[in-house]
Amino acid sequence: MAVPPEFIEDLRQRVPLSDIIGRRVKLIRKGRRFSGLCPFHSEKTPSFSVVDDDGFYHCFGCGVHGDAISFLREMDGLDFMEAVERLADMAGLAMPKSAHIDPAVTKKRKAALDILEETTLFFEASLRDPVGRDAAHYLKQRGLDAATVKNFRLGYAPKSGLRRRLADKGFSDEDMLLAGVQRKSDRDGSLFDYFRDRVMFPIENRQGKVIAFGARALGDAQPKYLNSGDGPTFSKKAVLYGWVQARDAVRRNLPLVVVEGYMDVIAVQRSGVAAAVAPLGTALTPEQISLLWKLHDEPILCFDGDAAGQRAQLRALERILPVLEPGRSARLAVLPAGKDPDDVLSASGAEGLRKILGAARSLIDSMWAAVAEQFDVQQPEARAQFWQSVRELVRSIGHNQVRGAYGDEVENRIAAMRSHTRGKTTAFVARRTARPQTGLMQRHRAILALILAHPALVPANFEALSMLETADQPLDQLKKAVIDAVIRDPDLDAAALNYHLQGSELGRVVEDLTGDEMKSRLPFDPHALAPDRAVAHLEELLGLVDGKSGLFSKTRTPR
């Protein structure tokens, strides 16, 4: 009796080991592992460890060690097939119709893995050979050192030679075709190397075995990027590039970042700022989201700052919401327009990327902001449509408790918007037409400088801030932009707020209000103020009607 090895691997990936053992043992999460009292011997101090990433348990007291199947066999006295059936039932999978599988199927899958490993070695050697000079130069220009190239097993696919190399190793043409490294010509049926004159990125599974390739053209060949097709070893919807390297980095307590491309993964990993993985040319799938959560409870999605990257973020948001679980979420980081993580690292170094990741929004804030950007929330009809759209997204969440928590949060935000809108409406009715007044410009500039440095001041002063009118249109636009940003994301800090505003048309106004010249005109440094002092200054500024209180009596008016 035998079970296909791919079926066993699928079972192990679908049912976390901690879920199986957690039904018998009270487990406590400690970083990326779980700890509890060993079920195989009597103990008072926990020495039993479970690691989902590796799919193994180990007791440091009695030395017992195994996987999901061995645990079920030992605990319930099952034989191998009974344990597999129990695990399949937990995973919701039907057992193969016949446990007697064709040995040829297993042989072909093993041959495919062996071919992919041999092909990787061939590509690695070609990169070091004179034939790979251009590829090596490209990688060096991208800032990759020999250690990084070795860590990711990067290589070069020459224009020919792979088929002969594999044939010399005893592999058949049929096996090469099945492994995806050879293709058959539509013209005459002859075989040719699928990857030619390209930088090669081996794609590994969770066990570190090469299961496919990604390839980048060196010249003008199209497509620029080329991936292996799905086959006996590879399904792109269930794999993340850089998994093995990211797992090691996460174990060093680094955050986990999801980027778009191979080079972004490598650049982020090499920076030491974060672990990184990438989907393979598709929007995140439920299978890939599950893989992310096996590494980290709150990965950061960090896509390119262009329109395509933002669309990818929205698609990811729509994919994540239905599968949210208690304690598992994601954050979204926004890159400068037209820039990817590799660009940021080249221009601003590790600290530049670290700041962007530090400003990543929570999932609820990202959802709120992403939907709000699609509507003119100043108009009542659009505002109602915005609320409806947000509620529809919340209804897509599958887990009852998570859906309820999101629903409560969204309704609280909608109530805050209603309150703010009513305040603006009342203010509009009672307000007189603004007239330019001497001294008011400096007061308005000081108020804006304060709320840029302390966005937390905005919610408690919505009405007063919305009533401020200035004859300076850019200042008025900035005031509205700050209020809108805080409505959408109440947890924005100064760094995140300024970062987002710098990327807009108001960036120059922000620079004027936060620069040294502005600070020289104020009797205080807004960023150096403690929160209570910032509150006091804002209250006094808002109470001024003629710009001549003691606080500002000695300030210079703008020239």
- Alpha-carbon span 485 to 495, nearest angstrom: 13
- Alpha-carbon span 194 to 518, nearest angstrom: 61
Alpha carbon separation from 114 to 121, 169, 179, 180 (Å, rounded) = 11, 10, 9, 12
Alpha carbon separation from 89 to 55, 86, 110, 426 (Å, rounded) = 18, 5, 27, 62
* Identical fold between 5-91 and 243-372: no
* pLDDT on residue 391: 95
Cβ count within 10 A of residue 415: 10
Strand order across the 210-217 sheet: 155-157, 198-204, 210-217, 225-227
3-state helix vs strand vs coil in the chain, percent to 5: 55, 10, 35
**Which CATH class name applies to 5-91?**
alpha beta
**The pair of three-digit structure tokens given for residue 290, joined into one six-digit string:** 């599950």
* pLDDT on residue 127: 97
Query: pLDDT tens track of the chain, all 559 residues?
Result: 567 777 888 887 788 899 899 988 999 988 778 999 998 887 888 889 998 877 889 988 888 888 898 898 877 767 788 888 888 888 888 887 655 555 666 678 889 999 999 999 999 999 999 999 999 999 999 999 999 999 999 999 999 999 999 999 999 999 999 999 999 988 888 899 999 999 999 999 877 889 999 999 997 888 899 999 988 888 888 899 999 899 888 878 899 999 988 999 999 999 999 999 999 877 788 889 988 988 888 999 987 767 776 677 778 888 999 999 888 999 999 888 778 898 899 989 999 999 999 989 899 998 998 888 888 888 899 999 999 999 999 999 999 999 999 999 999 999 888 887 766 554 433 333 333 334 567 788 889 898 899 988 887 777 678 777 766 778 888 888 888 777 767 777 787 788 777 666 787 888 888 887 787 777 778 888 888 888 888 887 877 633 433 344 333 333 3
Q: Which residues pair with 281 in a beta bridge?
A: none
The domain ranges of the chain are 5-91, 103-234, 243-372, 380-430, 440-543
With a CB cutoff of 8 Å and minimum separation 6, the contacts of 466 are: 420, 423, 424, 427, 483
**Which CATH class name applies to 243-372?**
alpha beta
Q: Are strands 300-303 and 331-334 parallel, antiparallel or unpaired?
A: parallel
* pLDDT on residue 217: 94
**The pair of three-digit structure tokens given for residue 378, joined into one six-digit string:** 């100043």
Q: Which residue has the tokens 């976390």?
A: 16
* pLDDT on residue 550: 38
CATH architecture of 103-234: Alpha-Beta Complex (3.90)
Contact 482, 448 (CB under 8 A): yes
- Alpha-carbon span 275 to 295, nearest angstrom: 10
Q: Is the dihedral of CA 446, 450, 455, 457 positive or negative?
A: negative
Q: What is the CA radius of gyration of the chain?
A: 29
153 φ/ψ sector (left φ>0, alpha ψ -120 to 50, else beta): left
